[in-house]
Structure 1
Amino acid sequence: MVIFTVTGQHAAVNNGQFDNYSWMPNGSLLLRKAPPTTKGQSSMETLLETLPNVGETVPIGTCPKERFNEPAPKRMIKKFQAELSSLSEEITTRNVQLEMPYSYLDPAQIENSIAI
């Protein structure tokens, strides 16, 4: 229940925001530098230095760092990833037939945390 709430449910409710906020200047929540304080003092270079890097989040089920050495958790992670992959394939197949595809609950589109 907790995993679904912070991943799948959150994605279903919030991923529509991506349509507007995928262009980072529309609503950056993470800045690498302080925003400008004086009008006319920014340049394209300072803007790009301030905005976050592309790909700072990872899809659900992705473990950028290996956190477990034991076989049991590794098997569980592999099983979870396989189930997510299967669900993603089903959703992709179903969406091909839809006039307006619904991809907000596609595991490939859900982040590993509630960060947007």
Structure 2
Amino acid sequence: MVMFTCSVQHAAVNSGQDFYGWMPNGPSTMQEPPPTKKGEMTKARIMAALPDTQITISSMEVVRLLSTRLSDAKFLLDFKEEYFTEDGPCTEIKTFKSQLQHLSNSIKERNQKLDLPYTYLDPACVEWSVDI
């Protein structure tokens, strides 16, 4: 559970933040209340609701910092450390790595058919931990 939470779950909620770099995808604040009836939104109301330039810039800076990978990032498929020498753990690690590689290959194959590939949960792109 700890391994999942510190790698895959963290990647699921953190990795897609780069899409918030374009403010309308996820405005950090809204300056007007949401509409209460269908069909009453206009372009002018939408523009009035979006945050000002300074808030947008600050939000974009935070998103960039949180979504930038570190130069020394380690990913699930890069697991090379040998903390165990016993046959039992080594066999389990080898099996786990094989399953991760199979999953990564499946994701890559699926993504070839997509206009916008989803790579955030590909084991080749999921970091070992929650490095920031």
- For 2:87 and 2:18, locate their aligned partners in 1 and report how far apart those are by CA, in whole Å: 37
The aligned residue for residue 8 of structure 2 is 8
The aligned residue for residue 27 of structure 1 is 65
User: Do structure 1's residue 98 and structure 2's residue 114 form an aligned pair?
Assistant: yes
Q: How does 1:76-95 map to 2 (within 5 A)?
A: 76-95=92-111
Equivalent residue letter for 1:27:
L
RMSD: 2.2
For these two proteins, the number of residue pairs brought into alignment is 86
Moved over 3 A (4+): 17-20, 61-64
- For 1:90 and 1:65, locate their aligned partners in 2 and report how far apart those are by CA, in whole Å: 25
Equivalent residue letter for 1:100:
L
Q: Give identity over the alignment, percent.
A: 42
For residues 45-71 of structure 1, the C-alpha deviation after alignment (integer angstroms, 9 at most, x for no partner) is: xxxxxxx7x3x2211154443111101
User: Do structure 1's residue 59 and structure 2's residue 75 form an aligned pair?
Assistant: yes
- For 1:18 and 1:69, locate their aligned partners in 2 and report how far apart those are by CA, in whole Å: 40
- For 1:9 and 1:79, locate their aligned partners in 2 and report how far apart those are by CA, in whole Å: 21
Equivalent residue letter for 2:131:
A
TM-score by length of 1: 0.63
- For 2:116 and 2:7, locate their aligned partners in 1 and report how far apart those are by CA, in whole Å: 23
The aligned residue for residue 109 of structure 1 is 125
Higher helix proportion (structure 1 or 2)? 2
What are the ranges of 5 or more consecutive residues in structure 2 without an aligned counterpart? 22-63
Structure 1 or 2, whichever has the larger Rg, is: 2
- For 1:18 and 1:84, locate their aligned partners in 2 and report how far apart those are by CA, in whole Å: 25
Question: Contact 1:11 / 1:104 at 8 angstroms: preserved in 2?
Answer: yes
